Structure 1
C-alpha cells in the first residue's frame, strides 16, 4: 500500500500540464491552461489545468482529478499501472507492498462502509416520526428541502442503543473505532450522538468520514455542537467541512471563504455562496491553511462580530504569520456586532454579505487594529507595550522579506499613532511665499558624530550613503528604527551617528518628508550617483525602496563579520564544520557585495540612459577619432 506522503511527492514531481498536453492540445490562460474537454464533445473550451493546484477540472461535464486520475480515466490504466508509469518518469521507486499498510487501507474501507450506513440511517430517522422536532428546527432556520438533501441532514434519536440496532451488520469494535459509539470500562458502550441534528463530514472526494451533531434542546447542558473524534478516517486538523463542494465552486469565483461553523457554511450556500468551508470546531491548523492556499492565494476568513469572533481572528492570524509566503496571505472579514452569516443574510440580504466579502481587510491591518484596541494606550508605557506586541508578532514570520515588510509597515503605523502631529513649526520659502514645515536642526554633538563617520580616515562608502539617504528621507529612520538600533549597538564607530539620527527623527512630525539639513562640513558619499536615493530626479518611492535595501545590507554586515570570526575561532575544535560555516558566510558576504554592485550598475545604466535623452545640441561634442 502506498502512503499518502509518497503519492503527494509523486504528484509534486510530475508536471500535470506536460502529461495532459501529450494527448490534449492546451492553451496558456494566465497561470493555468485551457482546452476543449477530452471527456465530452464541446466547441468552447471549459476544461482547465492548474499545475500550481495540481488538478484538472471541466466546468461542462464536471470531470475532475489529479495526474493519477488522468492516467486512469483518460488512458484507461489501473491505479498501480498509472503510478508505476508516473514514478518511472519522476525517477522514483515504487515502494514494496507493505502488508500492514494494506491492512490499514482495508480497515479504512470498512470504516467508510460503517459511516455510509450510519449516514443513511440518520437521514431515514429525520424523515421518520422520531425526527419531527429536528424537522421543525430546520424549518425555523429556513432551510428548504433542496438544502436539506444536498447537505445530508439527519437525526440521531435519543435512545442510547438505537444506532447499534440500526447497523447491526457491523460489529461493536468497528462502531467504536468509527467514533459512533463510546466504550466505557465495565459498562455497555452507548451511542455518541443522541437527540441531535446530524450532518455528515466528508473528505475531498465526498466520502463520509465523520459526523457533526447539533443539540436540539435549548436548555440542554450538553455541548451545542459535537463532532466525531479523530479516527483512522477522520483527522479534524486535516479536514475542512464542505471542501468537496466548495473547491469546484472556488475555481469559478476565484475565492474561498472560511467561516466559523458548518451551519454558517450551509447558510451561505443556501443564499447562493457555494465557496465556503469551516474548520472542525477548532482554530485553523497549519495543514488546513496549506489546503486553502492550494485553492486560492488569499482565502477570506469571516468571523462573527463579537468578542469570540475577534479572538478567533487573532488565533488564525497567529497561526498564519509563520507560514506566510510571497503571494499568499489572508483576507479578514468581521461581521457587524452580534451577527453571524445567517443573521446578516436574513436581516440585510445576500447582497450585504457579498459586499463584505468583496472588500476584506488585510492580515496586516487586522493585526494592527486588534493590538491597538487590545488595551488602553494612555501612557508612554502603554504605547511601548503596543510596539513590543507588534514586534513579537513580526518575529514569528519566517520568510525574511515578508518579515522586513511587516516590520516596516507596522512601525510606520505605530509612529503615526504614537507621535501625533505637533503644532506646525514653519519656515518661509521666500521664493514661493509658501510656508513649509521645518525639520529641527541637528544638535552640535549629533553633527560631530556624523562628520566623524563620513570624513577623514573613517570614511565608509555604504555607511556614508545610508546616512545621507536617511537625512534626505527622514521618514525612513523610524520605519527602520529597530534594525538601525541593533546595528548601532554592535558598531562602536558608526553606531553613535545612527543613534543621533534616530533621536532627531523622533522630533519630527509623523510622515514628514522634509529633509534634515546636513551639518556643515559633512562630507558627501564617495559616489553620490551610485544609489537612487542620492540622485536628484529619482522617483521618491523607488528611492525609498533602494534605501531600504541599502539599510539591510549595512545592518547585516557586522553580524556576518562576527559570525565569520566565531567560526574561525572554532577551527581547531571542529575544522570541517568551521570551514563549511566560513565558506557559507563568505558566500553570503559576496552575495551582498553582488547586490551592491547590481545596485550601482543599474543606477549607472539609468544615468547613462537619462544622459542619452539630452538633446544633441546640449551635449559636448566628442572628438572624431576617424579624423584624428
Structure 2
C-alpha cells in the first residue's frame, strides 16, 4: 500500500516529535529544540537533538537522523505501515484505504519536485536574458537589490503559450499539468470534442518560487508587469502544494525566528521581501487567502504569539479580524496572536521607504494582544447610545468567548470582557479604591490594604451612606438572599462591591462572609464558588455558606429554574440598590409628603417615591416568602 506525500506530511505535522520520543527516553528543553542522550549509541553527553518545528531528530555523534515515522521503524522496530497506523491513531487521522493510483503518485513525487526545480531554473534564466528587461526594470524601481533577488529566487515567465512547455518537454505534459505549470483546456471544458493543446500557466509575469519548510520549490506566484488581471497568480493546489497549509518564506523565516523569537505575518510576497531586505528576516505571508487554522498552527510551532501586521486600510483590518476570529477555537494556554497596525494607507514597503526600519520596529513593539483587538473592534462596530445597543455589545462579546474551546482561556476572556463592560457602563465615577488613590488624597473609602496586602474595610466608602442591617427582620432575610446569590454567582461580586461595602451588618457571621467575598474579589482575577468555600475553611462560617447554597435555601428570583446571567445580574442589582438606598427612599417619601401638602404640583414626586418604596417592600416580601425556594 502506498500513501500520498500530502497525507504523510500532514501526519508528521500533527505529531509532536519531542513528545513521541519523550515517551521512550528522557528529553530536555534546550532553547527552541530538545536534547537527549542518543538511544542509537552509548553516550554520556547528550548529542541527540529534536526539532519539533522541522519535525526531525539528529544525532551529532552517530549521525542517526529521521522523522516521526523513522523513529517508529528504527527505534521501535515497527513495519512502516504499522508505524503510520499508530501515529495516525494518536493524531486522530484515518489512514486512507488502499488506492492503486496512490502508488503511482508516490513514484511521481520526486519527479514533480524535479520538474518544479527545472521550472525555477528556467524562470531565473529568462529574467537574466533579453525577455527579462522589463522585469529587471520593475525590480530596480521597487528597490530590490541583486542580493535580495538571488536570495528569493526571482525569475520571469516569457509571454508565450509554450515556452516553458518546450523547455521542460522531457518531463512530459501530464506531469507538468499535475505540477500546475501547464493548463489543460480539456480538463477545464468537459464535453468539448475538439482537442486543444496544453499551454503555459504563467506568461509575462515576474515569478517568485514558493518553497516548503525544507526549501524545495513546490509552487510559484507570478506578478503581472503591465495591465491585466489578476495582479498576482498562484499555482493551483497540487500533490506538492496546498495553499491553505503553506506560508510564503517559511523556509527562511523559520531559522530567523529562532534568533529573534518572533514571527511577523504580513499580507503578501512583496511585503515579506521588503521586510527581509530591511533586516526583518522573520516575516511570512499567507498565499492569497485569509489565514487558515493550519497556518496558525504552523506559526505556533515557531513562536507562541506571532505578530499579525496587516495594512492599516479597511481591507487590512478586516483581514486581521478574520484571523482573530479563526484563531478563537484554537487558543490554548500560552498560545495566542497579537496585532501590529500600520499607519493608514501604508504597507510595510511604504513605511520602510519613508521612515526606515526604526519606524517598522516601533510598529511591531506597539502590537496589541488578541483580546485588545477584539474588544476595540466590537466597541467600535456599532453605536452604543441605547440600552439595546449596549446589550448587543454584551451579546457579541459572549459569542466571542463561546467560540473559545479551551475552558481556562474561555473563563479568563469572559472575566476580562465582563470587567471591561462593567467598568464602561456601570462603574460609579471616582469611587473605586484605585480612583480615589489616584486623586492623591489617600483611599478615603471603605476598602484599604493591610500590612499583608489584603483588602480590609475600616470606614464607609465615599459617596455611600452607611446602611445598617439588623440581626433579624425582612431586610436581614433579603441580605441572606443576596449573599447566597453571590455565592452561586461570584462573578457578580465585583459590580456590587462598592455598594455592598456601605452596609453595616449586625449579624457577625453575615458580616464576615461579605468581607471574605469582597476581599477575595480584590486578590483574585477570577472568583469561583469553590474557591470561596475553601477560603472559608470548615467552621461555622463555612457551614452557613453551604446552607445558603442548598437548593431550598432562599429565593430572590421567582423563577427557580432560571440560569439567564442577565436575569441574575438584573435582580441582584435591584436587591442591592434596595438595601443600600432604603433610608434615602424613606426620607424622600417623607419630604415629598410634606411638600405635597403645600403644593399640589408635587403629586408626581410623591407618586414616584411611593412606587420606589413599594418596590422595596416587594423585594423584602420575596425574601420572607421564599425561604423554601431556590435563589436565582
Q: TM bucket by the smaller chain?
A: 0.5 to 0.7
User: How far apart, in 2, do the equivalents of 1:50 and 1:436 lie?
Assistant: 58
Match of residue 225, structure 2, among 216, 219, 227 = 216
Q: In 2 relative to 1, CA 436–114 (structure 1 residues): closer, same or farther, beyond 3 Å?
A: same
How far does residue 7 in structure 1 lie from its aligned partner after superposition? Answer: 7.2
In structure 2, the residue matched to 1:108 is: 109
Greater mean alpha carbon deviation, residues 48-57 or residues 13-22: 13-22
How far does residue 255 in structure 1 lie from its aligned partner after superposition? Answer: 1.6
Match of residue 412, structure 2, among 405, 413, 432 = 405
User: How far apart, in 1, do the equivalents of 2:209 and 2:109 lie?
Assistant: 17
Provide the secondary structure at the position in 1 that maps to 2:343.
strand
Q: In 2 relative to 1, CA 174–87 (structure 1 residues): closer, same or farther, beyond 3 Å?
A: closer
In structure 2, the residue matched to 1:317 is: 324
2:143 equivalent to 1:142: yes
Greater mean alpha carbon deviation, residues 192-201 or residues 1-10: 1-10
Written as runs of structure 1 = structure 2, the 5 A alignment for 1:229-628 is 229-419=236-426, 422=429, 437-439=462-464, 451-452=476-477, 463=485, 465=487, 474=493, 476-477=494-495, 505=496, 513=498, 515-518=500-503, 524=509, 533-534=516-517, 540-542=522-524, 545-546=527-528
How far does residue 162 in structure 1 lie from its aligned partner after superposition? Answer: 2.2
Q: Which structure would you say has the larger Rg?
A: 2
Q: In 2 relative to 1, CA 174–465 (structure 1 residues): closer, same or farther, beyond 3 Å?
A: closer
Greater mean alpha carbon deviation, residues 421-430 or residues 25-34: 421-430
Greater mean alpha carbon deviation, residues 340-349 or residues 171-180: 171-180
User: How far apart, in 1, do the equivalents of 2:321 and 2:88 lie?
Assistant: 41
User: How far apart, in 1, do the equivalents of 2:144 and 2:307 lie?
Assistant: 24
What is the CA deviation profile of residues 225-282 of structure 1, one whole-angstrom value per residue up to 9, with x for unaligned ones? 1111112221111111111221122122212111111111111111121111111111
Provide the secondary structure at the position in 2 that maps to 1:169.
helix
What is the CA deviation profile of residues 573-614 of structure 1, one whole-angstrom value per residue up to 9, with x for unaligned ones? xxxxxxxxxxxxxxxxxxxxxxxxxxxxxxxxxxxxxxxxxx
Structure 2: 5+ residue runs without aligned partners? 40-44, 437-442, 449-457, 534-544, 552-632
What is the CA deviation profile of residues 468-508 of structure 1, one whole-angstrom value per residue up to 9, with x for unaligned ones? x67xx84x24xxxxxxxxxxxxxxxxxxxxxxxxxxx4xxx
User: How far apart, in 2, do the equivalents of 1:415 and 1:212 lie?
Assistant: 49
User: How far apart, in 2, do the equivalents of 1:381 and 1:521 lie?
Assistant: 40
In structure 2, the residue matched to 1:624 is: none
Provide the secondary structure at the position in 2 that maps to 1:336.
coil
How far does residue 204 in structure 1 lie from its aligned partner after superposition? Answer: 1.8
User: How far apart, in 2, do the equivalents of 1:113 and 1:157 lie?
Assistant: 21
User: How far apart, in 1, do the equivalents of 2:329 and 2:275 lie?
Assistant: 30
User: How far apart, in 1, do the equivalents of 2:467 and 2:54 lie?
Assistant: 56
How far does residue 545 in structure 1 lie from its aligned partner after superposition? Answer: 3.6
Provide the secondary structure at the position in 1 that maps to 2:335.
coil
How far does residue 119 in structure 1 lie from its aligned partner after superposition? Answer: 1.4
Task: Kindly indicate whether the alpha-carbon contact (under 8 Å) linking 2:202 and 2:222 is maintained by their aligned counterparts in 1.
Answer: yes
2:179 equivalent to 1:197: no
In structure 2, the residue matched to 1:490 is: none
In structure 2, the residue matched to 1:565 is: none
User: How far apart, in 2, do the equivalents of 1:441 and 1:281 lie?
Assistant: 63
Q: In 2 relative to 1, CA 330–549 (structure 1 residues): closer, same or farther, beyond 3 Å?
A: farther
How far does residue 110 in structure 1 lie from its aligned partner after superposition? Answer: 2.6
What is the CA deviation profile of residues 206-225 of structure 1, one whole-angstrom value per residue up to 9, with x for unaligned ones? 221111011111xx231111
- Between 1 and 2, higher relative CO (CA 8 Å, sep ≥ 6) is seen in 2
Q: In 2 relative to 1, CA 30–198 (structure 1 residues): closer, same or farther, beyond 3 Å?
A: closer
Provide the secondary structure at the position in 1 that maps to 2:524.
helix
User: How far apart, in 1, do the equivalents of 2:486 and 2:160 lie?
Assistant: 81
Task: Kindly indicate whether the alpha-carbon contact (under 8 Å) linking 1:215 and 1:224 is maintained by their aligned counterparts in 2.
Answer: yes
How far does residue 70 in structure 1 lie from its aligned partner after superposition? Answer: 7.6
How far does residue 327 in structure 1 lie from its aligned partner after superposition? Answer: 1.3
Q: In 2 relative to 1, CA 355–47 (structure 1 residues): closer, same or farther, beyond 3 Å?
A: farther
Provide the secondary structure at the position in 2 that maps to 1:540.
helix
User: How far apart, in 2, do the equivalents of 1:12 and 1:383 lie?
Assistant: 42
How far does residue 335 in structure 1 lie from its aligned partner after superposition? Answer: 0.8
TM-score by length of 1: 0.66
How far does residue 358 in structure 1 lie from its aligned partner after superposition? Answer: 3.0
How far does residue 109 in structure 1 lie from its aligned partner after superposition? Answer: 2.7
User: How far apart, in 1, do the equivalents of 2:198 and 2:340 lie?
Assistant: 43
TM-score by length of 2: 0.66
How far does residue 418 in structure 1 lie from its aligned partner after superposition? Answer: 3.1
Q: In 2 relative to 1, CA 429–249 (structure 1 residues): closer, same or farther, beyond 3 Å?
A: closer
Task: Kindly indicate whether the alpha-carbon contact (under 8 Å) linking 1:68 and 1:82 is maintained by their aligned counterparts in 2.
Answer: yes
User: How far apart, in 2, do the equivalents of 1:109 and 1:431 lie?
Assistant: 72
User: How far apart, in 2, do the equivalents of 1:557 and 1:5 lie?
Assistant: 54
Aligned residues: 501
Task: Kindly indicate whether the alpha-carbon contact (under 8 Å) linking 2:119 and 2:168 is maintained by their aligned counterparts in 1.
Answer: yes
Task: Kindly indicate whether the alpha-carbon contact (under 8 Å) linking 2:461 and 2:498 is maintained by their aligned counterparts in 1.
Answer: no
In structure 1, the residue matched to 2:134 is: 133
